[in-house]
């Protein structure tokens, strides 16, 4: 394979920035262009629901590299530059300003966009989602004593926003359609831990809640109306009902798509000159033995180095297990592996659910699919090889990884 002269990257999030970094780290000396629709240098999003949202951390703490890094490494970072389409046959990218850019290899890292609710009032002022710095600033403006925030959705983002808002003295109502928050991720045995966590911190958590409309006055949200007629007044409504991969550019390139861009174990798409990394990549995972698309920080951080190695001609695959973390109040957790609902035949918990200090293991045929450590640390590195090597484990001996280990 001839060495590419120009690698273009579309998407200025963590995965895009890490792709540029990996190209230079791995000795690529050709041209690197990074097209970023946002006006900020690429930044990490986890602080947007945590320290940055709380007002306790500067935005600059979240940026992946300062602007000087792009200059020093001869990376052509184009801010406010949205790619509108790809002519894959011509190896040409089109930009929103009408100009075009030719590439030899292309890496797509366009990330996700928040899902919206098709509800009356959903377009009103004060109905907010959280993905960007501006979104976080808009939500923070509704924090404080005497303010009331309604959060629709008891997933990771909704719960982190609720925790941060409570920390700022805001009254918070969380509306979750399911019978427990996070039940689809952690299951019915562990989801009560998160319900109790938020109630103990003063969140009004309504479960099985069906939102019928956002109530409005003069075009601004005044609260929500539930299907049973209950009206909850609030200063703003945060909609945290998940995200969808942003596939517009991938679609324009004619790539194979199914719940994200279908990429092989090396993160190469159906077009051999186009790769996809981060939230949009539906990856044929060599360790898990099936496809997985992960909407978490660690994937955006780690996939680019593998994609770049493959793009530069190495025979390489991406083997890292899915990993994520969350912080809510005084609870910190990490989750490693992949155990979607119905995939396990046994859940083993060591520790104390009520004290919110435990390690949970999802097992199938005595092998660990995933583990979650809650307010217990130094677990991930010990569990990772057990999952990766499909090691048969004695569930009792997993205690050694629990809180008193």
Ligand X SMILES: Cc1cc2nc3c(=O)[nH]c(=O)nc-3n(C[C@H](O)[C@H](O)[C@H](O)COP(=O)(O)OP(=O)(O)OC[C@H]3O[C@@H](n4cnc5c(N)ncnc54)[C@H](O)[C@@H]3O)c2cc1C
DSSP string, 230-289: -EEE-SEEEE-S-EEE--HHHHHTT--BSSSEEE-TTSB-SSTTEEE-GGGEEEEETTTT
Which residues make up the interface to ligand X (CB under 6 A)?
A: 10-16, 35-38, 45-46, 48-49, 82-83, 109-112, 130-131, 157, 246, 249, 278-279, 295-298, 300, 324-326
Min dist CB 78 to ligand X, Å, is 8
Min dist CB 393 to ligand X, Å, is 25
Phi-psi region of 139 (alpha: psi -120 to 50; beta: other; left: phi over 0): alpha
Q: What is the rounded distance in angstroms from the CA atom of residue 286 to the CA atom of residue 288?
A: 6
Q: What is the rounded distance in angstroms from the CA atom of residue 334 to the CA atom of residue 327?
A: 9
Contacts of 237 (CB under 8 A, 6+ apart): 126, 127, 128, 149, 150, 151, 152, 214, 221, 223, 224
Min dist CB 261 to ligand X, Å, is 11
- Whichever of 13 and 154 has its CB closer to ligand X, that residue is 13
Min dist CB 260 to ligand X, Å, is 10
Q: What is the rounded distance in angstroms from the CA atom of residue 270 to the CA atom of residue 196?
A: 46
Element (H, E) at 112: strand 112-114
- Whichever of 333 and 363 has its CB closer to ligand X, that residue is 333
- Whichever of 216 and 302 has its CB closer to ligand X, that residue is 302
Min dist CB 52 to ligand X, Å, is 9
- Whichever of 16 and 121 has its CB closer to ligand X, that residue is 16
- Taken in order 126, 139, 297, 88, is the CA torsion positive or negative? positive
- Whichever of 171 and 249 has its CB closer to ligand X, that residue is 249
- Whichever of 50 and 350 has its CB closer to ligand X, that residue is 50
Min dist CB 215 to ligand X, Å, is 26
């Amino acid at each position: 394979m001839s060495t590419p002269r120009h690698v273009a990257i579309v998407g200025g999030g963590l995965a895009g920035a890490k792709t540029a970094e990996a190209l230079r780290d791995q000795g690529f000396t050709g041209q690197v262009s990074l097209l970023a629709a946002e006006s900020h240098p690429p930044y990490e999003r986890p602080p947007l629901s945590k320290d940055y949202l709380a007002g306790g951390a500067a935005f600059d703490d979240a940026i992946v590299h300062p602007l000087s890094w792009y200059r020093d490494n001869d990376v052509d970072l184009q801010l406010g530059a949205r790619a509108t389409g790809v002519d894959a046959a011509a190896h040409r990218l089109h930009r929103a300003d009408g100009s075009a850019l030719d590439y030899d290899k292309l890496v797509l890292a366009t990330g996700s966009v928040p899902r919206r609710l098709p509800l009356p009032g959903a377009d009103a002022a004060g109905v907010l989602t959280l993905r960007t710095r501006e979104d976080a600033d808009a939500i923070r403006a509704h924090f404080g004593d005497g303010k009331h925030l309604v959060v629709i959705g008891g997933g990771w983002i909704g719960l982190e926003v609720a925790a941060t808002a409570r920390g700022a003295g805001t009254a918070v109502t969380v509306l979750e359609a399911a019978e427990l928050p996070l039940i689809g991720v952690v299951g019915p045995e562990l989801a009560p831990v998160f319900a109790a966590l938020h109630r103990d911190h003063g969140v009004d958590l309504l479960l099985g809640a069906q939102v019928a409309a956002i109530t409005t006055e003069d075009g601004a949200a005044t609260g929500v109306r539930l299907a049973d007629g209950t009206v909850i007044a609030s200063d703003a409504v945060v909609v945290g009902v998940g995200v969808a991969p942003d596939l517009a550019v991938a679609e324009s390139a004619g790539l194979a798509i199914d719940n994200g861009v279908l990429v092989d174990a090396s993160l190469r798409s159906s077009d051999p000159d186009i790769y996809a990394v981060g939230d949009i990549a539906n990856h044929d995972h060599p360790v898990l033995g099936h496809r997985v698309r992960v909407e978490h920080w660690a994937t955006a951080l780690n996939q680019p180095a593998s994609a770049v190695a493959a793009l530069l001609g190495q025979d390489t695959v991406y083997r890292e297990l899915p990993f994520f973390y969350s912080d809510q109040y005084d609870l910190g957790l990490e989750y490693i592996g992949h155990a979607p609902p119905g995939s396990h035949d046994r859940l083993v918990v060591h520790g104390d659910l009520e004290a919110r200090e435990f390690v949970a293991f999802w097992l199938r045929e005595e092998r660990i699919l995933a583990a979650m450590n809650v307010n217990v640390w130094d677990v991930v590195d010990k569990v990772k090889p057990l999952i990766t090597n499909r090691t048969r484990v004695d569930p009792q001996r997993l205690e050694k990884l629990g809180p008193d280990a």
